[in-house]
Chains A and B, each alone.
Chain A
């Protein structure tokens, strides 16, 4: 028998757990209880926002989309001139462009946000 302290919503509980010997590495089934209270009031279906970031330092040559545009996976959204190349920046998933952070001729660093895409799942 082992004792654990468990905190739920700030309340601390002492829980006793008995260990049942099982072969090493075997899996345990744990049921997850979804708490209705802790869920943020989010509209369903789920909206996922992804930030498209610059993969390297460079200069923005062209922004092919504007706020509100619908994009599909693999679409080229920005042309970034870096390392003597007109690099095509593509999106991994589809969605709606909710924010554009850069414009033509902007200089960006590695990891700088270029635009934001909201995907409805």
Chain B
């Protein structure tokens, strides 16, 4: 047989590639398109800068022989992996291909994902994982199971080194959910995404409970109730655009600073709207997001977990082009109290920011922890502790602005001076106190009130005096717990200056294995 020419060999390569790039074949792809979904490769094309994607491991083939798999041709083993750029910045990606045996994860499929994760860690670039898989490839038995384990292990080792982002664009069930869960952010799509450890059938068999897949693990469920989803989009395109937007706030790895973006929004822009937003009457609610948006560069606020634990607001934004992480109490919901979900939400966000050199700006208006048996039985003690721990161990610049109420343990938890805030600012409306005035008076003046001829009017009298003396920022300022009491209209400028100063902070974690984070 005559030897093939180089040209013939290249043609052969192209033929082989074409066969593999077809994934599950035109019929399966057409079916997806009819369902309004795109293919694994189309998603990558949409995300990546044009022509930048380099596919890795296109030729990888499974080596399972049993249960009819030996004859089965599974292009790319059901997952497209590689690297490319988004807005000019390097990212690594894997995208499961549902048209190839339901995107099921087998040994080699997992190996491809692991390879990409290792490469990303090596060069310090984010990993994006697009999940669209029926689950483990049962035919491959424990090889498939082991594949999941290897991914989880890498998710954990890469945590805090490179940003890891999961996009749930289809089913993600059983053990598979734990890879996204170990990553930093989970994106879900209305109608398309389903995430659960045990599906509706198993739930029914075990408990008799009937629940739809959508109700059990749809985007709304995880956005509102479980808090598993960080971002929800109405469709695939919207979701991928959200991913791009999030990436614009994140550094590529833990040794880099987040990307700076030029802004024409002046730092000394006065925030006069605060005069009308906040009522000096501390019982009147307001929307803290208006305060956040006013302080940040115009239209730079990207809220995280918007619908979960709405009594707390967390998200990314920019001040003078510099990325910051914002944490705030929301008086509009549950009076802005801290509860189990809010504590979890804040603690996780603070830790992410600390991992990736994103300074924290905390806006405080908190009356306390939410009372109730469900909170205590649910373990608010150990959940609340997460906030204290996360703020205390964070070494990024920590700037705190106290807007109004800052009572008791909840005040301490909201990045108080004592938990290591670098600069604490307070508005004249701030009330930093050990507890609400009514409760405090009943304890401090118990005898006086009891012994008075008219206890009711005596109580009113001492309450008024007590409020006057202690419910302001000046007691805390006298102790140096507040560094500056400021006119609300200069909030943006004061925070910007504080960030500039403490940006060069040289604080590192203590040399220990790791703390025992209260989980």
Q: Residues of A at under 8 Å CB distance from B?
A: 23-26, 55-57, 81-88, 110
B468 at the interface (CB under 8 A from A): no
B218 contacts the other chain (CB 8 A):
no
The chain A residue with its CB closest to the CB of B279 is A86
Please measure, in the bound complex, the distance between the C-alpha atom of A25 and the C-alpha atom of B137, giving whole angstroms: 10
Known: A84-B405, A85-B331. A56 touches B372 (CB 8 A): yes
B367 in the interface (beta carbon within 8 A): yes
User: What is the size category of the interface that chain B forms with chain A?
Assistant: 20 to 34
Of all chain A residues, the one with the shortest Cβ separation from B339 is A56
Please count the residue pairs between chain A and chain B whose beta carbons lie under 8 angstroms apart in the complex: 66
> What residues on A are CB-neighbors of B407 within 8 Å?
84
From B135, B368, B372, B438, give the contact of A25 (CB < 8 A). Answer: B135
Q: How far is the CA of A8 from the CA of B438 in the complex (A)?
A: 62
CB pair A83 B335 closer than 8 Å: yes
Q: Are A57 and B372 in contact (CB under 8 A)?
A: yes
Find chain B residues with CB under 8 A from A25 CB.
98, 102-104, 133-135, 171
B478 within 8 A of A: no
Residue contacts A-B, CB under 8 angstroms, 29 given: A23-B134, A24-B101, A24-B104, A24-B134, A24-B138, A25-B98, A25-B103, A25-B104, A25-B135, A55-B334, A57-B372, A81-B283, A83-B336, A83-B370, A84-B282, A84-B283, A84-B335, A84-B367, A84-B405, A84-B407, A85-B283, A85-B331, A85-B335, A85-B367, A86-B283, A86-B284, A86-B285, A87-B335, A88-B332
Please list the 7 inter-chain residue pairs (A to B) with the smallest Cβ-Cβ separation, ordered nearest first. A25-B134, A85-B335, A25-B102, A83-B335, A24-B134, A23-B102, A24-B102
A118 to B165, CA, bound (A): 42
User: Which residue of A has the minimal Cβ distance to B407?
Assistant: A84
Chain A contact surface mostly: loop
Given known pairs A24-B134, A25-B102, A25-B133, the reply for A84 and B436 (CB within 8 Å) is: yes
Seed contacts A83-B336, A88-B332; 9 additional CB < 8 Å A-B pairs: A24-B101, A24-B138, A25-B104, A26-B102, A56-B334, A84-B282, A84-B367, A84-B405, A85-B367
CA distance A39 to B285 in the complex (A): 45
Contact between B134 and A83, CB atoms less than 8 A apart: no
Complex formed: what's the CA distance from A85 to B367 in Å?
Answer: 8
Cβ proximity bits B248-270 to A, threshold 8 Å, 1 near / 0 not: 00000000000000000000000
A48 smallest CB distance to B (angstroms):
16
> In the complex, which residues of chain A have a beta carbon less than 8 angstroms from the beta carbon of B282?
84
The answer to whether B371 touches A57 (Cβ under 8 A) is: yes
B372 touches A110 (CB 8 A): yes
Task: Report Cα–Cα, A57/B284, bound state, in Å.
Answer: 17
Q: CA–CA, A85 to B407, complex, Å?
A: 13
A85 to B103, CA, bound (A): 51
Are the C-beta atoms of B337 and A56 separated by less than 8 Å? yes
Contacts of A110 on B, CB cut-off 8 Å? Answer: 372, 374
- Within the complex, the shortest CB–CB distance from A38 to chain B, in Å, comes to 16
- A82 and B135: CB pair below 8 A? no
Beta-carbon nearest neighbor of B35 in chain A: A27
Residues of A within 8 A of B135 (CB): 24-25
**In the complex the two chains form, what is the Cα distance from A55 to B371 in whole Å?**
11
Q: In the complex the two chains form, is B372's CB within 8 Å of A23's CB?
A: no
Q: Which of chain A's residues has its CB closest to B136's CB?
A: A24
B95 to chain A, nearest CB (A): 16
Inter-chain CA distance A88–B285, complex, in Å, is: 8
Q: Which residue in chain A gives the minimum CB-CB distance to B98?
A: A25
Asked if B337 contacts A83 (CB within 8 A), the reply is yes
B-side contacts of A55, CB under 8 Å: 333-334
A82 to B133 CA separation, bound complex (whole angstroms) = 46
Report Cα–Cα, A84/B337, bound state, in Å. Answer: 10
